[in-house]
Amino acid sequence: MSWQKGHIPWNKGIEWEKRRFILTPSPELSYLIGVNYGDMRHMKYEKKSQFAIGLLVTDKDFVEEFRRCACSITGKKPSRIWETSRVRKGRKKEYGWTIFSKKLFKFFSETLDVHKPFIEGYEQYFLRGLFDSEGTITSCSNKTNTQLRLSFGNKEVTIYSLKLLDKLGMQFKYYEFNSYKKRIGKKGSIPYSNDFIHRKMMYTIATKNKNIIKNFGEKICFTIKRKQDMLIYLINYVFKKYCVICGKEFEPNSNAQKYCNNCRKKNQ
């Protein structure tokens, strides 16, 4: 099977797309592969023989980047981004965009082994798409809960991402845990209070190391402004302190350090 000849091997009896394009390794395709293992939606309309991929999330800038990459690959003009008209109580407004393409639908339905040759050389873009979809960054003033984390249910992709991060000089820790949810039941019944059911296994890579998080901000970063602002805040504020004596900014070696290296040497 070759994706670089500009055709789909199994499209017998189905009309070709109006715009034929060739899938070659690129930053845009690598980014979409990362999103594919996260929030990307696959849609198949059997009655009309139509195939589509799309995105429906609460971050509009994420959808805009998804649209830019997809249109750059296919050569199609970008259509408008739509938003949900009805917003449920307690939920944010969602933005969505869809592109009809049988070739993209079939390609993104393939396994990781098929996608790996298209990721090589553009690993940072693949990781950016993955962290935009499933990544989480938390901040706390005392640094104890400051963490950069990627967590979802695909073990193969999680381990592959761990290897790519290690290749880029970022050593994350790997965890496995069971995801539980509370069993639904009427008040007064046996499973109502403290009974939980197993949902699925979750696979996580995470780090609290400030140097690794800084390295992540320089090499990968986020497309989503909400997450990128938190990352910048972490690097510029949480990971820095001001000397009690001279007032200059310095990077502490520990949470208890209150003096910069120059003032500490003078006081000794």
Longest alpha-carbon distance in the chain: 83
CA distances (Å), origin 213, targets 148, 179, 233? 7, 26, 12
**Superfamily per CATH, domain 1-84+91-121:** Homing endonucleases (3.10.28.10)
Would you give per-residue pLDDT tens digits along the chain (268 residues)?
Answer: 444 444 444 343 333 344 477 889 999 999 999 999 999 999 988 767 789 999 999 999 999 999 999 999 998 888 899 888 666 666 788 899 999 998 999 999 999 999 999 999 999 999 999 999 999 988 765 555 678 999 888 899 999 999 999 999 999 999 888 765 544 444 444 444 445 555 678 899 999 888 898 899 989 999 999 999 888 888 776 666 666 666 666 666 655 566 677 777 676 6
Tell me, what DSSP letter sits at residue 194?
Answer: S
Query: Which residues are CB-contacts of 67 (< 8 A; sequence separation ≥ 6)?
Result: 78, 79, 81, 97, 99
Right CATH number for 123-238 from 3.10.28.10, 3.60.15.10, 3.30.980.10, 3.40.640.10? 3.10.28.10
Tell me, what DSSP letter sits at residue 214?
Answer: H
Nearest alpha-carbon partner for 11 in 75, 76, 106, 98: 106
Q: What is the pLDDT of residue 263?
A: 74
Q: What is the pLDDT of residue 200?
A: 72
Sequence spans of domains, the chain: 1-84+91-121, 123-238
For residues 103 and 57, the answer to whether their CB atoms sit within 8 Å is no
Q: What is the pLDDT of residue 86?
A: 67
With b for 16 or more beta-carbon neighbours within 10 A and e for fewer, the 116-129 pattern comes to: eebbeebbbbbbbb
Q: What is the pLDDT of residue 83?
A: 87
Q: What is the pLDDT of residue 254?
A: 57
Query: Which residue type sits at 230?
Result: M
Measured CA to CA, the distance from residue 120 to residue 116 in angstroms comes to 6
* Residue 254: Cβ within 10 Å count: 6
Measured CA to CA, the distance from residue 156 to residue 93 in angstroms comes to 32
Residue with tokens 């199609």: 76
What is the CA angle 59-61-66, rounded to 5?
100
φ, ψ at 15 (rounded to 5°): -60, 145
For residues 53 and 105, the answer to whether their CB atoms sit within 8 Å is yes
Domains 1-84+91-121 and 123-238 fall in the same CATH topology? yes
